[in-house]
Structure 1
Amino acid sequence: MEDEAQAQTPIENVRWRRVLAWFRENLLLVFTIAGVILGVFFGLVLRLANPSEEAVLLIGFPGDVFLRLLKMLILPLIVSSLITGLTGLDAKSSGKLGFRTLLYYFCTTMIAVLIGIILVLTIRPGKSTSAKEELGGKGVSSDVTTLDAILDLLRNLFPSNLLQACFEQTQTYYEKEDVYKTVKVNSTLAPLTAISYNATMGENVTSLVAGGYTETSMEVFNGTISVRKVGYKGGMNVLGLIAYCICFGILLSQMGPQAETMVNFFSILNDITMKMVFLVMWYSPIGILSLICAKILAMDDLGLVFSQLGLYMITVLLGLLIHTGVLMTIYFVFTRKNPLRFFQGMLQAWVTALATSSSAATLPITMKCLEENLGVDSRITRFVLPVGATVNMDGTALYEAVAAIFIAQMNGIPLNMGKVITISLTATLASIGAASVPSAGLITLLLVLAAVGVPAEDVGLIFLVDWFLDRCRTSINVLGDSFGAAIVDHLAKKELIEAEHHKMEEGDSNELDGLTKPSATDGMDAVRSDNGNTDTTL
């Protein structure tokens, strides 16, 4: 028995060492997951103490700092990563890369919308809920139109001022203005008494001047109208910055050695930004714990909200889960690799997206996970991910399609096939135009509702559970970007290798061009060496 125990001891030691080694390698991931669990736990426990608004504010302050740190890195990361990634590719490779990326984004977004529509029409959560009567909701009205959304998208794609694009983006808005009309009014003049001095008689003479009519005009209030105006709203215009950086990076890659200093500058800027990301990531467990705990404490009545809108939430979550399975299947079909192992490598970014509910804020961590954990080429991640964080919103598109039909079902509004198709197309467009910030999907949901004539007032109901669903759909947005980057990386292996060889050949030719041409003496020396004699005559 002692011999058996002694024989098992080395095996147990090896297992224990492996466990310790895994914890050392994934220490940050363990802390992040612990932050999520503790955030939910402390949030539920502290609700029993009914903390004040000041207490909730202080509890959420570390999370607010965490979000600010991540948002601070978005601008330098997008600029440096896009330009650095494109300078490593030639124009032909970047064109193929862009086509594959946009094709993947469009297809997966349409699939997400179709999944959402099929589920909401099958489960029909709006028919069995009394949330509208029980919970009421905040009225939300908007004059937004599909044309406005398309034009705003194009305006933001071509910013008039790059500095302004760093903190503002174009948005059409409607302003209420009072309308007045001019009315003509006839008034009767009464007889006037006129007094004059008669010099002959030496006395005043009083006389009456006959009255008459006079015509005047006045402004009369005639109601209020909505006037379309184009202005700016707070928030970085990521789409415009990406368009400029793509153009800048492609042109920079075509300038050769002349642009080497500029390429090195952006490469070093990208490395510095990623080092800052690494430092911020070690603060993320505390920030995530704070964000989740404060959000749970800020809810008025968790039980009532979840019970009345539970079926709607189940429909959205089931759709997101099915779409995740679709993304994994697409990844396996193209790469023949285990999607679960891929998800394990992306776990840090997925958890961060759950906590921050912002794909743009999660972008630095998404890049780090893909490049370090999964070995995706940095040229791919620096191009695909910034574009994806702006235009690829699978979870948001699914959510908006479900929400629009859910509100229509609550109001008893029938939806024919034409309106369903309109919802699918508008939800896809709205998700592209949605900013990659928390709860941006609620704003673009108004566009989907307006497209099919569904009342926007009931969007207030969605506010009650949006804090939770927003985090879930953002995590799917991040996963969709990540799977897309891995697929594009797999398909572009050949182009990347050719681009690397082409770059090396250009470097060799430049070195040869810099060498001096051999003189006649050099040629004679070569002849002497080959012939073994000292004759200098050719």
Structure 2
Amino acid sequence: MNEVKEKKKIGLTTRIFIALIAGAIVGIALNMFAADVDFVQNVLVNGIFYVVGQGFIRLMQMLVVPLVFCSLICGATAIGDSKTLGKVGVKIIGFYIFTTMMAVAVALGIGLLIKPGMGLDMSQIQTAEVAASSDSVSFAETLLNIIPKNPIGALANGEMLQVIVFALIVGVILAKLQDKTQLVTNFFQQGNDIMMEMTMMVMGLAPIGVFCLIAKTFAGLGFSAMVPMFKYMGAVLLALFIQCCGVYQILLALLTRLNPLRFLKKFAPVMGFAFSTATSNATIPMNIDTLEEKIGVNRRISSFTIPLGATINMDGTSIMQGVAVVFVAQAFGIQLSPADYLTVIATATLASIGTAGVPSVGLVTLAMVFDSVGLPVAGIGLIMGIDRILDMARTAVNITGDAVCTTIVAHQDGALDKSVFNKN
């Protein structure tokens, strides 16, 4: 039975990778040979590809709130002892914030080294206005906004930080009351099972959704339009690579003594799926399953830390924001002081905590980072065209960070089975 299940899982991963490559080939071919054909652009690219691709994204967004809510309640309940829960919670949040600050620092360093915005002729670039809130929210208000006034309203509006806080409180109380609330505990566990099953059904459509998303992305990207942006793309991708294969793997090797190369090999399918969908939330079930079946992390830890990380641990997004700050500052000829760079590290870390795990949302919070150091928000228009590709890469880094931090915390909590990790 397990062999059949394993084959099915490998089959889905392979189909997603095939769809990813096929979508890129079809998209590039359409861009090169049919960019001016109205039927292809209106019916195929902006019709079928757009509707199917966005339909798949919406199906995944449909899962997010109930999946995270039920999963966190079950995770908090499974840990049981509120003292242990508090210890695991403090550790994982500490790791998440530390890796995010490291990510922004890496991004700023790479940006200053490569100087992606130097020599950019602004008249050659078509800028676009990005809708951004001009109301600046104080740090005190940001903290208060984490606590929901109305939990049902938070669930309805998808306010993820408020949903997390409410779910954790419910989970802690259920763990404390145990037998008295067994019926409610069973209700959320069964709800979690339903959401996992629904997720697997939606995942069955992943190859079709991925093909359409990637085909549309590449069909809209002309190579000539990307030329001025290659240095920016290269800087972001280099910083993402250093964070994913350097910072994370050094932390993993130092704190767990696990082989980083083996970890990356076992975790590659999850990274591939995150890359193709560009949404951290969609990878939650696959991430938890892979950590349990291939890495050896106990599900009672991962079912708590992974949904939490999908919402508050956005290292890839922070890297994009760090490089974008340097790029736009150089492109507009604005000098930033060391104090400005420290402000960027603090603001990007806070912005990543409030970033939802859905595609391209990092562009919206980027406006907040730009405002903090007085950069023109119109500069976001410079990078909008190529953000989709970078969004896919940074999502893969986001979920790898969640997995590495979870593995470290599980190891420290005695909830990591190294025999599973070492098994081929």
CA distance in 2, matches of 1:156, 1:403: 27
Q: Which consecutive unaligned segments of at least 5 residues does structure 2 have?
A: 418-424
Distance 2:6 2:175 in 1: 41
Equivalent position to 1:81, from 63, 68, 71: 71
1:294 aligns with one of 216, 227, 232: 216
Q: Does 1:33 align with 2:33?
A: no
Corresponding residue for 2:226?
306
Matched, 1:123 2:114: yes
Q: Please name the residue that 2:345 is paired with.
A: 424
Pairwise mapping of residues 26-105 of structure 1 onto structure 2 (< 5 A)?
Answer: 26-47=10-31, 48-50=33-35, 51-56=40-45, 57-89=47-79, 90-105=81-96
Distance 1:262 1:277 in 2: 22
Q: Give 1:477's match in structure 2, choosing from 398, 403, 413.
A: 398
Deviation, 1:353, is 1.7
Residue 165 of structure 1 aligns with an amino acid whose one-letter code is A
Unaligned stretches of 5+ in structure 1?
1-19, 169-235, 497-538
Aligned residues: 406
Q: Secondary structure at the match of 1:125?
A: coil
CA distance in 1 between counterparts of 2:184 and 2:8 reads 38
Does the alignment pair 1:363 with 2:354? no
Q: Comparing 370-379 with 441-450, which one deviates more in the overlay?
A: 370-379
- Going from structure 1 to structure 2, the CA distance change for 1:369 and 1:63 (only over 3 Å counts) comes to farther
Residue of 244, 247, 267 corresponding to 2:166: 244
Report what 1:163 is aligned to: 152
Match of residue 381, structure 1, among 291, 296, 302: 302
Per-residue CA deviation, residues 20-61 of structure 1 (Å, 9 max, x unaligned), is: 999666222211111111110111122322313222221233
Q: Please point out which of 364, 380, 391 is paired with 1:443.
A: 364
Q: Residue 396 of structure 1 contacts residue 431 of structure 1 at CA under 8 Å; is this kept in 2? A: yes
Q: Helix, strand or coil: the match of 2:128?
A: coil
Higher helix share: 2
Give 1:339's match in structure 2, choosing from 254, 257, 260.
260
Query: Are residues 1:460 and 2:345 paired?
Result: no
SS of the aligned residue for 1:136 comes to coil
Change (3 A) 1:123 1:495: closer
CA distance in 2 between partners of 1:141 and 1:79 (Å)? 29
1:396 maps to which residue? Answer: 317
Cα deviation, 1:162-182, whole Å, max 9, x if unaligned, reads 2221232xxxxxxxxxxxxxx
Asked if 2 retains the 8 angstrom alpha-carbon contact of 1:135 and 1:461, the reply is: yes
| C-alpha separation in 2, matches of 1:156 and 1:284 | 34
Alpha-carbon distance change, 119 to 352 in structure 1, aligned in 2, over 3 angstroms: same
1:395 offset after TM fit, Å? 0.8
User: Is 1:393–1:432's contact at 8 Å kept on the other side of the alignment?
Assistant: yes
TM-score, structure 2 length as denominator?
Answer: 0.90
What is the CA–CA distance in structure 1 between the aligned matches of 2:257 and 2:170, rounded to whole Å?
35
Looking at structure 2, the residues matched to 481 and 141 of structure 1 have their Cα atoms a distance apart, in angstroms, of: 30
For the 8 Å contact 1:391–1:433, the answer to whether it is kept is yes
Could you report, residue by residue, the CA deviation over 1:227-271 in whole angstroms, capped at 9, with x for unpaired residues? xxxxxxxxx111101100101111111113112222222222222
Alignment partner of 1:254 is 2:176: yes
Percent identical among aligned pairs is 35
* 1:166 partner SS: helix
* Shift in CA distance, 239/363, structure 1 to aligned 2, threshold 3 Å: same
Pairwise mapping of residues 130-149 of structure 1 onto structure 2 (< 5 A)?
130=121, 132-140=122-130, 142=132, 144=134, 148=137
Distance change (3 Å), C-alpha of 1:398 and 1:266: same
Distance 1:166 1:22 in 2: 34
In structure 1, C-alpha distance between the alignment counterparts of 2:285 and 2:261, rounded to whole Å: 22
Among 354, 357, 371, the alignment partner of 1:433 is 354
Q: 1-side partners of 2:50 and 2:367: how far apart? A: 29
Instruction: Determine whether 1:281 maps to 2:271.
Output: no
- Structure with the larger RCO, 1 or 2 (CA within 8 Å, 6+ apart): 2
Partner residue in 1 for 2:420: none
Q: 1:341 to 1:285 in 2, by over 3 A?
A: farther
Measure how far apart 1:140 and its partner are.
4.0
What root-mean-square deviation, in Å, do the aligned CA atoms of Structure 1 and Structure 2 show?
2.3
Q: Which residue identity does 1:258 align to in structure 2?
A: K
